[in-house]
Chain A
């Protein structure tokens, strides 16, 4: 019996770091997010702010990552040497795409959500832009489902987390505006360059060509 590959869910750090309740289904562990999504694998595009070896010579590395909504941690070690190799070559701050499994650690005082990378790779900012758009859409869809209050996971999420949906909406809105402003800025620069170019075009001195 081959298990179907888990879909990589799109979740902002704000929602991910609050997903402390663990569900188990046939040997697969899921973190339940405050918006009622079961998450086993995630795909996230964020900024690697920092990397450090947890303790010297353990070859276990902690990454601090940030998307427009907050910070989360990922741990790479012997179990994923390829990610470690990539990590050693990266100079923060740098934008990375991360595919990985969500883990919830029971600490002494609280539970900590982190990610174990399967794939880690440096990407262009356009990839981050689209990830934010995609994740915003996915999050809004979850908010809608939460508003309907139907379905087992949704009810469970209400019971455990009782989230403030307005808060989540404004987090999404902020993330989208941030990217939009950046893109508008780029577009303006691009148009200005074009205008400059047109301006230069009018400066051509054609007198020589017109002389016999």
Chain B
């Protein structure tokens, strides 16, 4: 491909991305003229011809500033005024209060959530809650200190087959630890896949090498609902001072791995905890956990209320 053809192609594609058909042979002539006759640098050629076409077709100047819109994750959207593309699921649609807005709401991928606005004059179709789309060539914006994306007339919205997952929801609970389930305490994990072993064998790989780990699978109950939680070694250590090394020492001293579980049960069962974590399927994966202690003022308030 010669230089003229290459530059022409770039310009044509740029307009096609925005659904604008341009006359290729006409552009080619202009490129040839500027490049070979007037020795204008490439960047300037593209700019000049783009400018001319925008005027010709009565388009908005935005095409000029458009860069390739890279596909980004929502968490990566931090600056306003950037052209991006995102694959996201529509989590919520809000009622629009303005006639200029055709739709407004929240979209998300596994890294985060962001507000989106489809401007009425963009002429783009409507999206539905719960469906996933590729939002192509949208502009990031900052409104009242929060990032959002704007769908304008150069954007496109394509429905996706795949289901984009939303970020895990963080939950915070205060409850009593009413049960510690099997598979807690000093456990063995398969050295190949890291799964907890049952009776010294991995459900996947059978009798293989294993390594020790410490965890609690338990039930937190707040009197209204039950929550299954997993406390990892770090959580257990922060609550009891017993980490993996100490647990191994206890097991050796008592010649019984079960001694670790008994010790943990006596220190944790029946106590109240404040737990923050994310719900991953059946269990809440605990990020932060601490013993919960009420304050005197809570008693005073309740006493006065009766």
Contact = CB atoms under 8 A, between A and B. Distances in A.
Interface of A: 5, 7-10, 41, 43, 45, 96-99, 118-119, 121-124, 126-127, 129-131, 133-134, 136-138, 140, 169, 172-173, 176-177, 179-180, 183-184, 187
A119 B271 contact: no
Interface string B282-306: 0000000000111010111011011
B270 interface: yes
Contacts, number: 85
Q: Of A122, A134, A173, which is in contact with the most chain B CB atoms at under 10 Å from its CB? A: A134
Given A7-B224, A119-B178, A134-B223, A127 B300 contact: no
B270 A97 contact: yes
Given A119-B179, A180-B303, A133 B224 contact: no
Contacts of B292: 130
A180 B296 contact: yes
B133 interface: no
B208 interface: no
Nearest to A99: B178
By Cβ-Cβ distance, the 4 closest A-B pairs, closest first, are: A97-B270, A180-B299, A99-B178, A121-B269
A133 B266 contact: no
A169 B306 contact: yes
B221 A7 contact: yes
Contacts of B226: 5, 7-8
Select the residue from A43, A45, A172 with max chain B CB neighbours within 10 A: A43
Contact of B294 (A123, A124, A129, A172): A129
B83 interface: no
Contacts of B299: 129, 133, 176, 179-180, 183
B306 A43 contact: no
A134 B292 CA distance: 12
23 contacts: A7-B226, A8-B178, A8-B226, A43-B221, A43-B223, A45-B270, A97-B176, A97-B270, A98-B270, A121-B265, A121-B266, A126-B294, A129-B294, A130-B293, A131-B176, A131-B272, A133-B299, A134-B223, A140-B305, A169-B306, A176-B303, A179-B299, A180-B303
A130 B303 CA distance: 14
Given A133-B299, A176-B303, 9 more contacts: A10-B223, A43-B176, A119-B178, A123-B270, A129-B294, A172-B306, A173-B303, A173-B306, A176-B299
Contacts of A123: 270-271
B302 A176 contact: yes
A45 B176 CA distance: 11
A87 to B, nearest CB: 13
Contacts of A99: 178-179, 270
